[in-house]
Structure 1
Amino acid sequence: MTTVVTYGTFDLFHIGHVRLLKRLRDLGDRLVVGLSSDEFNSVKGKNVIIPYEDRREILLSCRYVDDVFQENSWEQKRDDLQRENASIFAMGDDWIGKFDDLQDVVKVVYLPRTQDVSTTELKTVISEIQNEKIRQIQSLASHLSRLIEKL
């Protein structure tokens, strides 16, 4: 049995995540995901929108994912790979070269990311929508304030 292990945050689950998980699963018989905890994401400077338990449930509901465990630090990968009896460690190609030191225990593979979709971009769009709504409310409040002054 070929076990593939990957890691990620998988916040705001989107088509890029689905396509990556499918390609990862196609590499082996079993796909296990190390899901970054909310605390570890803070250490990494990431603000997650979806809490860990919800992100875990989403991943477990995906037909390509066989199991999920919690990632709490950068250093745990070697132990995780051995515990899971992994044959392949795979990540998106934005991590090329970062995990080559694990090649003594597994085959390390970097897969291309889905073009034109990312959680960061989604968060930017959401933030822009929020900011536009705030501007609209401020404009309305200013307009109402002027009307009240005239009364």
Structure 2
Amino acid sequence: MEELEHTCPLPRTTLIEPAIFTPETSCECRAPHEKLTVDQASHGTPVDRPVRVYADGIFDLFHSGHARALMQAKNLFPNTYLIVGVCSDELTHKYKGFTVMTEDERYEALRHCRYVDEVLRDAPWTLTQDFLEKHKIDFVAHDDIPYSSAGSEDVYKHIKEAEGISTSDLITRIVRDYDVYARRNLQRGYTAKELNVSYINEKKYRLQNQVDRMKEKVRTVEEKSKHFVYRVEEKSHDLIQKWEEKSREFIGNFLELFGPDGTWKQMFQERSGRMIQAFSPRGSPSSSPPRDFSPSRSPSPPSRWAMPRTSPPSSPKGASASISSMSEGDEDEK
């Protein structure tokens, strides 16, 4: 009998493209599929085909807790091909309840997880042997199952405790902050009918949104005012510093010009000395030069008021003679 080689799909080695959707028959390999033991899978055998691991769930609001569970499933064995089954909306609503994301949104979220090699849509709620054989599944992984190794009950226990998160936790947050999310979606353009919000609540949320917008405007104005005041203070500091420098320079120049030993005082003293010298007359000579009497020049006649030196008259007759002689002299002058 001819031995057939395995043509099972290998784990994807590139993250450029999203994971594929599972076709009707997950593995078309013609070679017989023998289930591996944990020991064989742990040692990476057989070499010609990967270990096919299956994990399923709802994966509503896909978050880091889901991604970590899939990372654990992917890293169970050295050569793992991880198939992730996602239940449909119809099945989920029937057995668990309503979801936030639609089934198509949940399918696409799983396709873009780096640990997933293949996404199986409309996964069954309960796994059967026929289903496992049809998709040639070696092991089924679930985030609630502890993975025992090296004497530990669960090697991922500390990671689960440190990074514990579930969809129920997220739903609880949404319910707790329902008003905030409703207001946000109303602001984004959703109608009250789409959000199942009553008329009164709609008006209340819109009023709160307006108040928040006003607060934001006030906060913006305050920030701009603080920035403006800071710039004014900075400019004022520069102006004051320049004013002080100019003031010191002005005072220094003033003192240099008008101070006790300033330039202005020296100029004033020099000009005052010149003015005093210009207005003071020349001193008189100590002795007058003798008059030079030339023979050609007769002496000037005596002043009309000059009284001749005569001996005092001895009698009234002499006095009258003097007076008459004076009158004659006057007439001659005239």
Which TM-score applies when normalising by structure 2? 0.34
* Partner residue, 1:66: 117
By how many angstroms is 1:73 displaced? Answer: 3.6
Task: Name which structure has the greater RCO, CA cutoff 8 Å, separation 6+.
Answer: 1
Q: Which moved more, 1:111-120 or 1:40-49?
A: 111-120
Amino acid at match of 2:160: T
Q: Is the 8 A contact 1:39 1:72 kept in 2?
A: no
1:114 aligns with 2:150: no
- Stretches of structure 2 lacking an aligned partner (at least 5 in a row): 1-49, 147-155, 183-199, 208-334
Amino acid at match of 1:66: D
**Percent of pairs identical after alignment?**
31
By how many angstroms is 1:79 displaced? Answer: 2.6
- Stretches of structure 1 lacking an aligned partner (at least 5 in a row): 97-110, 145-151
Q: Distance in 2 between matches of 1:133 and 1:63?
A: 30
Q: State the Cα deviation string for residues 34-84 of structure 1 (Å, max 9, x = none).
A: 101111101112211111111111111111101111245434443332122
Q: Which has the higher strand share?
A: 1
SS of residue paired to 1:92: coil
* Partner residue, 1:43: 94
* Partner residue, 2:63: 14
User: Would the alpha carbon gap of residues 12 and 75 (structure 1) be closer, same or farther in structure 2, given more than 3 Å must change?
Assistant: closer
Q: State the Cα deviation string for residues 78-97 of structure 1 (Å, max 9, x = none).
A: 3332122111111122x68x
User: Would the alpha carbon gap of residues 47 and 114 (structure 1) be closer, same or farther in structure 2, given more than 3 Å must change?
Assistant: farther
SS of residue paired to 1:40: helix
* Partner residue, 2:106: 55
Q: Distance in 2 between matches of 1:35 and 1:79?
A: 18
Amino acid at match of 1:78: Q
1:82 aligns with 2:133: yes
SS of residue paired to 1:74: coil
1:130 aligns with 2:181: no
Q: How many residues align?
A: 127
Q: Is the 8 A contact 1:11 1:119 kept in 2?
A: yes
Q: Is the 8 A contact 2:73 2:82 kept in 1?
A: yes
Q: Distance in 1 between matches of 2:170 and 2:81?
A: 29
Amino acid at match of 1:114: K
Q: Distance in 1 between matches of 2:87 and 2:129?
A: 15
Kindly name which structure, 1 or 2, has the bigger radius of gyration based on alpha carbons.
Answer: 2
Which TM-score applies when normalising by structure 1? 0.70
SS of residue paired to 1:121: helix
By how many angstroms is 1:131 displaced? Answer: 4.2
Q: State the Cα deviation string for residues 85-120 of structure 1 (Å, max 9, x = none).
A: 111111122x68xxxxxxxxxxxxxx7583431101
Q: Distance in 1 between matches of 2:88 and 2:57?
A: 10
Q: Distance in 2 between matches of 1:67 and 1:35?
A: 11
